[in-house]
Amino acid sequence: MNSIATEVIIKTLVDHRINDYCIPVVYGSPKVISYWKKIIGLPDFQLNIITNLDQLNPKRSNILVCWEEETEIKPGEATELAGKYAFKALEAATKDAVAGKLHAIVTAPLNKNTVSATSPNFKGHTEYLAQQAGSDHLMVLTADELKMALVTGHMPVKDVSAALSIELIQNKIKLLNDSLKQDFGIVKPRIAVLGLNPHAGDNGLLGSEEKEIIIPAVDRAKNDKQILVMGPYPADGFFGSNQYKKFDGILAMYHDQGLVPFKYAAFDSGVNFTAGLPFVRTSPDHGTAFDIAGKNEANEQSMRNALYLAVDIWAQRNNFKEINENPLPMNPGKRERFRIDF
């Protein structure tokens, strides 16, 4: 409401060609939309106003009214009131997604501090959606061929080591492998796992987590799940030497270890995707940017990419499901010859 969130939503949906691929539904307030479309110079922008999903107009972008009352809008200010209404919209959209009424959620950036002021247990979109869906989850940042996943998410660095376990890392490797297959259509994904310590522990000299936790997790994923996974790699050299380009997915141990190189490579175009949920969830890979809110300077490219990716992943999941539910029958008595070019 006070950040660039509404601005990038309007700038994304003003191109009506998106309606050829999906039926967008904005969860929020028409009054907030009216305020912001004037601020950014798009007074003729219109959304179809609805109060429930049965009223959807499939040929237009819609807005589902989450609150009727007037709300004070203060561009650039992180207020508790803005956090309260941001969570109200998220809560309504999540309820519909969990009920199977939505195929995907594209979340706009919000300020966690303002939300947690009225919802104290809120840690972030990813954790909230996974909790409400009752499912495992994996944060995956994606841009072009780069897909960066995280073992731990919104957690203080001092707590990361204690949070790591063989089982946790092995589970995250499996989630990443499954997502690369079903969500991105990669038949045999190649996965790299990063170490926790400098130089990946330097054979125990700089830390024992690699020897005691990460390497056993990688070995189990290789042997038990037959996953093509390698590591742990020292993070600095892995990115500095462009070694990351040889892999379909990368698993980092903690938030900034993965997001610093990712945002350096794709700050304006990256998308945050939550793997493991029963519905698709994507988000632009940037924050609330209060410093430019209300100045009509926000770049909507990441939000547009997040919307396109949600559409693509939903289609790919359906394709994956159809292929695996109805595989081509094998006739062991007859073998066909195939030509494979390398």
Phi then psi for residue 118, to 5 deg, are -110, -15
Asked whether residue 338 is assigned to any structural domain, the reply reads no
Asked whether the beta carbons of 109 and 288 are under 8 A apart, the reply is yes
Instruction: Indicate whether 207 belongs to any domain.
Output: yes
What does the pLDDT read at residue 336?
Answer: 40
Based on the domain organization, do 112 and 184 belong to the same domain?
A: no
- Beginning with the edge strand found earlier in the chain, give each strand of the sheet holding 62-65 in spatial order: 25-28, 62-65, 48-50
What CA–CA distance (Å, rounded) separates 82 from 229? Answer: 43
Look at the chain and report how many structural domains it folds into.
2
Answer with the one of 220, 249, 268 that is the final residue of a domain.
268
What pLDDT shows up at residue 330?
52
- Going by the DSSP 8-state scheme, the letter that residue 20 receives in this structure is G
One-letter amino acid for residue 222 of the chain: K
Residue 272 near residue 282, CB atoms below 8 Å: yes
Q: Which CATH number does the domain housing residue 121 bear? A: 3.40.718.10
Helix (H) / strand (E) element for 149: namely strand 146-150
Residue 36 is assigned to a structural domain of this protein: yes
Query: What does the pLDDT read at residue 51?
Result: 96
**50 and 27: one domain?**
yes
User: Is 135 exposed, middle or buried (CB count within 10 Å of its CB: 0-12, 13-18, 19+)?
Assistant: middle
List, for the chain, all residue ranges whose pLDDT scores fall below the cut of 70. 326-342
Q: What range defines the domain where residue 199 resides? A: 136-268
Q: Do residues 56 and 144 share a domain?
A: no
Domain shared by 64 and 75, yes or no: yes
Residue 313 lies in a domain: yes
- CA angle 49/64/53 to nearest 5° reads 100
Whether the Cβ atoms of residue 258 and residue 148 lie closer than 8 Å to each other: yes
pLDDT at 148: 97
Q: What one-character DSSP code corresponds to residue 214?
A: I
Two structure tokens written together for 318: 């359906």
Q: Say if CB 117 and CB 265 are below 8 A apart.
A: no
With 0-12 CB in 10 A as exposed, 13-18 as middle and 19+ as buried, what is 90?
buried
Do 205 and 252 lie in a common domain?
Answer: yes
Look at residue 330 and tell me if it is in a domain: no
Supply the pLDDT for residue 119. 87
The reply to whether 140 falls in a domain is yes
Task: For residues 187 and 172, state if they share a domain.
Answer: yes
Tell me if 250 sits within 8 A of 194, measured CB to CB: yes
Is 337 within a domain?
Answer: no
In angstroms, rounded to a whole number, what is the distance separating the alpha carbons of residues 110 and 8?
13
CA distance 2 to 294: 8
Per-residue confidence (pLDDT) for residue 286, from 0 to 100: 86
Residues 39 and 81 in one domain: yes
Percentages (nearest 5) of helix, strand, coil residues in the chain: 45, 15, 40
Residues 210, 306, single domain; the answer is no
The predicted model scores a pTM of 0.88
Strand partners, 63: 26, 49
Give the tokens for residue 279: 């519905």
Burial annotation 219-256 (CB, 10 A radius, 16+ → b, else e): ebbeeeeebebebbbbbeebbeeeebeebbbbbbbbbe
**H helices present in 99-251, as ranges:** 112-118, 125-133, 160-163, 166-182, 209, 215-225, 235-240
